[in-house]
Chains A and B, each alone.
Chain A
Amino acid sequence: MSKDDYGVKIPRTSTVPAVGSEAQLRALLTALSGVDAVGAEARAAQLATRSIKKSTKLAAIDLAISMVDLTTLEGADTPGRVSSLCAKALRPDPRDLTVPSVAAVCVYPDLVAHARSVLADAPVAVASVATAFPSGRASLNVKLLDVHEAVAAGANEIDMVIDRGAFLSGRLGQVFDEVAAVKETCGEAHLKVILETGELVTYDNVRRASWLAMLAGADFIKTSTGKVTVNATTPVALVMLEAVRDFAETTGRIVGVKVAGGIRNTKDAMKYLVLVNETVGSTWLTPDLFRFGASSLLNDLLMQRLKQQRGAYVRPDEFSGD
């Protein structure tokens, strides 16, 4: 075990428990220990005070840029807007070729084909929200068709939402089956499961929903849609990262985490990177296993990067808006 693994011992063989019935799933999830809410909040707050400077900060900024899912999820989105988003995703700062591309662009399903054609075979993935985003309130057939069309149009990653109504009223089997069915429909595409933690009320629910999603086959678990009042918070991310760690230790399957909503500046992004490093270790500090879902974050990262280089605060309009 290397030093920077922080004690995460991942078994070589994958042994994800098969979930045969709702009763079995319920037993698995209720066996999870409760979250110490005060402890989680204190731990997250303490890690948030860590300060990262100079060359470490520059490296962290570049890492964060490479982890961004550059997102536009507005009713007013147009192909033109998606085109400029894709251009920005490829070359976040066109004057400086040392700035890495972002991980993915994230759009609504109807704009996937356009995004894919603009990006061609560039190493930037196209992610699409699906399954009646953001509420998740539609029949399974509608959701699967939504996913199917997005994948057919060229989406490499699918961000699905869970049905919080079903989860909160205890219909865990329904949520599990939906995630499993969507995973199957995804085929090669990566599946990110949005838990919408702002609507799950308690940390215990967040932990259970994380396990449920991972058991059902999620490649990533994601905090929020960005469409409700409460978005990603550091304690919630901590709980999810712990779930991912425990899941990896018990089953040998490594699942990624995506935080989304309300992450607007470099300082916030640094907090999450520290949290990842201290909870699951540096193995997760890669775009393959950790993502930021954001739109305005990228410009702040670029501004901070330029500030480190120039030694002076820069204008926000140095960089294009969306």
Chain B
Amino acid sequence: MSDSRLDVRKTYKLLINGAFPRSESGRSYEVTTASGEFLANVAQGSRKDLRDAVAAARAAQAKWWGSTAYNRGQVIYRLAEMAESRRAELAEHVALAEGLSAKKAQKSVSRAIDRMVWYAGWTDKIAQVFGGANPVAGPFFNFSLPTPSGVVAVIASQNSSLEGFVDEVLAPISAGNTVVVISSERRPTPSILLGEMTVTSDFPPGVLNIVSGITAELAPTLASHEDVDGIDLAGVVGDEANELSITAAASIKRVFRPNESDTATTTRRLRAFIETSTVWHTIGQ
């Protein structure tokens, strides 16, 4: 008897509303390792995939923000658990995608998982840290409450295939937003793996939607989409980012453009997609 068996090759698909569809357009594109060898065929998303993803994110948002902060924290922590048990696979893909040594890739995965835990902790602290009771000159209680912007589009970092991605999507999600993300064009596989893990860690369908594809083709659709409330331009620079900011302005989106000072411990991104509502409440007798 022969030991040979047929290859079981993986199809890297989109993540929309908790399901893994191929692109509506039927397209896929070739992704290579950092050294230029064939790595995988990945679904090449289209405008209609983004439309579906935004509709799913919008439908999921009220329920996600309506669940308790404690519960959201548990869900994100569960993602960290899932990632921990699949860290070897993640590290392999980070190494292939970013051209890192195995050791460096593992360190990158560890940092990414630690970030998940960090964001899991933030869910029930956002209101404490960024909200508060305001002193006012009158017989009122005055509270400022951070609430999510709504549906946030993320153009994921092109280089940091896992660490960057985790930051970019979990910051808005932990604040109660739902996310549609265009994954790194050349290095999408670690983010696709992470997307698969969200489905096994109690993320409600639609909270995180991942569309892989050509950034320049997809990004304008999200920037102009009027049902998107904010956009993180991590994966685009220079004129392209300026163009997208201008497009986003037409529908009054919050635009977040990362800069050099955004280190692992700043909360700039966490605060980027929060709307503060202030409540005046009379003091009773």
Please tell me if the beta carbons of A315 and B224 are within 8 angstroms of each other in the complex.
Answer: no
CB 8 Å contact bits of B219-245 with A (1 = contact, 0 = none): 001001111000000000000000000
CB 8 Å contact bits of B39-60 with A (1 = contact, 0 = none): 0000000000001001000100
> Which among B54, B225, B227, B250 has the greatest number of chain A C-beta atoms within 10 A?
B227
CB 8 Å contact bits of B114-150 with A (1 = contact, 0 = none): 0000000000000000000000000000000000000
**Closest A residue, CB atoms, query B220:** A312
> Which among B58, B226, B250 has the greatest number of chain A C-beta atoms within 10 A?
B226
Contacts of A316 in B (CB 8 A): 58, 227
Contacts of A314 in B (CB 8 A): 226-227
CA distance A313 to B58 in the complex (A): 13
**Closest A residue, CB atoms, query B227:** A315
Tell whether A75 is near chain B: CB-to-CB under 8 Å. Answer: no
CB 8 Å contact bits of A294-322 with B (1 = contact, 0 = none): 00000000000000000111111010000
CA distance A313 to B52 in the complex (A): 11
For residue B116, give the distance in angstroms from its CB to the closest CB of chain A.
31
Tell whether B276 is near chain A: CB-to-CB under 8 Å. Answer: no
Please tell me if the beta carbons of A311 and B226 are within 8 angstroms of each other in the complex.
Answer: no
Tell whether B33 is near chain A: CB-to-CB under 8 Å. Answer: no
**Closest B residue, CB atoms, query A317:** B227
For residue A293, give the distance in angstroms from its CB to the closest CB of chain B.
24
Contacts of B224 in A (CB 8 A): 311-313
For residue A134, give the distance in angstroms from its CB to the closest CB of chain B.
28
Tell whether B158 is near chain A: CB-to-CB under 8 Å. Answer: no
For residue A266, give the distance in angstroms from its CB to the closest CB of chain B.
12
For residue B60, give the distance in angstroms from its CB to the closest CB of chain A.
14
Tell whether B251 is near chain A: CB-to-CB under 8 Å. Answer: yes
CA distance A243 to B173 in the complex (A): 54
CA distance A206 to B172 in the complex (A): 52
Contacts of B51 in A (CB 8 A): 313
Contacts of B221 in A (CB 8 A): 312-313
CA distance A314 to B224 in the complex (A): 9
Contacts of A311 in B (CB 8 A): 224
Contacts of A315 in B (CB 8 A): 226-227
CA distance A318 to B51 in the complex (A): 16
CA distance A54 to B67 in the complex (A): 42
For residue B245, give the distance in angstroms from its CB to the closest CB of chain A.
15
**Closest A residue, CB atoms, query B247:** A312
For residue B225, give the distance in angstroms from its CB to the closest CB of chain A.
4
Interface residues of A (CB under 8 A from B): 311-316, 318
Subset of 8 A-B contacts with CB under 8 Å: A311-B224, A312-B221, A312-B250, A313-B51, A313-B225, A314-B227, A315-B227, A316-B58
